[in-house]
Amino acid sequence: MAKSKEEYKNFGVTQKEALINEYKGNLFEYLVAHLSARDLGIEERFLSDFGGTAKKRLSEYESWIRQNDRDLIQALPQLARPVADFIVKKFKDEPLKALLVVGKSAAGLSAQEKSLKEADLLALIQSEEVSAQRGISLKLCKSNAFVNTKSGGLKSFFQTYFSNCPGSKEAQEELLLEVDRCFWQMGQELYEMEGLGDFSGHFDERWRDANLPELPGEMAEDKREIIQGNYQKLVKLLHAGFLNFQHSDLPAFNHSLEALMGFGDKDLIQLSCFYQSNSKGRYRFDHLQEHSDIREVLKACPPVIKPLKSGLSSFEVSVGKWALQIRVKPMNKFTQASYKVNCSVKKMRK
């Protein structure tokens, strides 16, 4: 956590965005849940459930945002209001017992369903006749932006999400070989450009002793092109895999797309709150979107895998009015052969 404005000023653009997104996301989830619980008549239970380290951490986030982005701290309750209104309308006739903020702690709640890992809030419904739980996923996004739905490690991506598609094991093995080959080639080119000699297969003390960066954004433009070229080679294999899976088994391929587009759990309620900037403020509510029709659209509209575009480490799959973006990125530092595949969706508005 950034301790001061001075420390924050020294962060790179990517670090600043990541920090703000984490803090505002956590605070947004709490505000939506608190407003919803209050209007649904379970505020006392909600405040009792939310405490301990989670409450302390949220207080630190709120204090930090208040010091570093006053526009955001003022806008968050206004952005949370329409989302809470939707949740209240959804559950007003249900015997709702509690509304929990689970967020990133969901994976540690072993007693809950696996689907809870996708949820930010959990609605507990309890009466003599019914006992159920509904997960709610929340996203706060800039207007017209893609919404992140899934992020998986590249080295297991095909096996994890396309295991029912013929040839997924072989495609994954080929991808692993390409990861090693491309990483070595990138390293060799960068070492030669920096006059460090031959690349040994990993970025060693020669790189560190020369005080060279490990984040792509901190490299000179000509070297960033080499790093990006590495991602572009890897995305070509992802693109080829998608085409092969679609051709070999369309139903299995469509089922995999459901998960990548955020519908691994049919009972999960997914809400995206979009905001925009205008002359009246940096954070103005734009619209609320429920991701409820992707499964139906997949049944009615065959997915179209768009061609690769030169210079991009991503490609898109068109599904009716929806666009699914598949992007290769480093897990963290480009100096490690560790990559992730970010999946995100956008609904095209007329």
With tokens 């080829």, the residue in question is 240
Residue 119, domain member (yes or no): yes
Q: How far is CA 230 from CA 153, 237, 243, in A?
A: 16, 12, 21
Residue 162: predicted pLDDT: 96
Element containing residue 261 per DSSP (H, E): none
Give CA–CA dist 248/334, Å, rounded.
34
Residues 76 and 101 in one domain: yes
> Which residues, including other chains, have CB under 8 Å from residue 57's CB and lie 6 or more apart?
26
User: Does residue 83 form part of some domain?
Assistant: yes
Instruction: With respect to residue 333, please indicate whether it lies within any of the assigned structural domains.
Output: yes
Say what the pLDDT of residue 128 is.
83
Is the domain of 81 the same as that of 47? yes
Pair (256, 314) in one structural domain: yes
Global pTM value:
0.84
Residues 222 and 161 in one domain: yes
Last residue of a domain, one of 98, 116, 142: 142
293 Cβ contact list (under 8 Å, min separation 6) = none
Q: Does 164 share its domain with 107? A: no
Q: Residue 124: beta bridge partners?
A: 98, 133
How much is the pLDDT for 161? 95
Confirm whether 291 is domain-assigned: no
Q: Are residues 155 and 134 in the same domain?
A: no
Q: CA-based angle 226:260:22, to the nearest 5?
A: 70
Range of 15's domain? 5-142
Q: What is the largest CA-CA distance in the chain?
A: 74
162 within domain boundaries? yes
* C-beta of residue 320 within 8 angstroms of C-beta of residue 334: no
Q: Which of 142, 172, 190 is the last residue of a domain?
A: 142
Tell me whether residue 271 is in a domain: no
Query: Are 119 and 233 in the same domain?
Result: no
Same domain, 215 and 108: no
* 8 A C-beta contact, residue 97 and residue 125: yes
Nearest alpha carbon to residue 302 among 268, 254, 267, 238:
254
pLDDT values of the chain reduced to their tens digit, one per residue, 350 residues: 445 555 655 566 666 677 888 899 999 999 999 999 999 999 999 999 998 888 899 999 999 888 888 888 999 999 999 999 999 999 999 999 999 999 754 434 444 444 466 789 999 998 888 888 999 999 999 888 999 989 999 999 999 999 999 999 999 999 999 999 999 999 999 999 999 999 999 999 999 999 999 988 888 899 999 999 999 999 999 999 999 999 999 999 999 998 898 876 778 898 999 998 766 667 899 999 987 767 788 888 889 999 999 999 999 999 998 999 999 999 889 999 999 999 999 987 65
Residue from 76, 104, 149 nearest 325 by CA: 149
User: Can you give the pLDDT at residue 8?
Assistant: 59
Alpha-carbon distance of 235 to 312, in angstroms, equals 9
Indicate if the alpha-carbon torsion angle 286, 292, 294, 297 is positive or negative: negative
Which of 116, 142, 168 is the last residue before a domain boundary? 142
Looking at the domain assignment, is residue 295 inside a domain?
A: no
Are 227 and 257 in a shared domain?
A: yes
Q: In terms of domains, do 128 and 178 share one?
A: no
What total number of domains does the chain contain?
A: 2
Helix (H) or strand (E) holding 182: helix 168-193
Whole-number pLDDT of residue 111: 42
In this structure, the answer to whether residues 113 and 192 fall within a common structural domain is no
Same domain flag for 172 and 231: yes
Q: Is residue 275 part of a domain?
A: no
List C-alpha distances in Å: 326 to 65, 223, 287, 317. Answer: 31, 24, 24, 8
For 326, phi and psi rounded to 5 degrees? -115, 120
The span from the CA of 301 to the CA of 318, in Å, is 9
